[in-house]
Amino acid sequence: MSCPICKKDTVAKYRPFCSKRCADVDLGKWLSGDYALPSGDPEEAETAIDEISQHAPHLH
Ligand SMILES: [Zn+2]
């Protein structure tokens, strides 16, 4: 399996990514709407985004 961001080998600690950097990049993409939301329920998705935002204030 390879990192979906840069295609390098993944590291167990950061799976499915190769590093924290790539995990952050992915999170940023997700927050900016590049990715389809995992849930079809918009209210649930909003809650999920709120929770992620609280854990990653540097993305604001
Ligand atoms: Zn990577």
Residue 38 confidence (pLDDT) = 59
Q: For the chain, how many residues are written?
A: 60
Q: How confident is the model at residue 52 (pLDDT cuts 50, 70, 90)?
A: confident
- Is 26 within the bounds of a domain? yes
Range of the domain at 41: 12-59
> 10-49 pLDDT, tens per residue?
999 999 999 999 999 988 888 887 656 555 666 777 787 7
Residue 40 confidence (pLDDT) = 61
CA 60/CA 39 separation, integer angstroms: 23
The DSSP 8-state label assigned to residue 59 in this structure reads G
CA 40/CA 58 separation, integer angstroms: 27
Distance from the alpha carbon of residue 45 to the mean position of ligand 1, in angstroms: 25
Q: Find out whether 5 and 26 touch, Cβ atoms under 8 Å.
A: yes
Distance from the alpha carbon of residue 14 to the mean position of ligand 1, in angstroms: 9
Residue 57 confidence (pLDDT) = 64
CA 14/CA 43 separation, integer angstroms: 28
Number of domains forming the structure of the chain = 1
- Is 52 within the bounds of a domain? yes
- pTM greater than 0.85: no
- Is 55 within the bounds of a domain? yes
- Is 5 within the bounds of a domain? no
* Residue 46 counted as an annotated binding residue: no
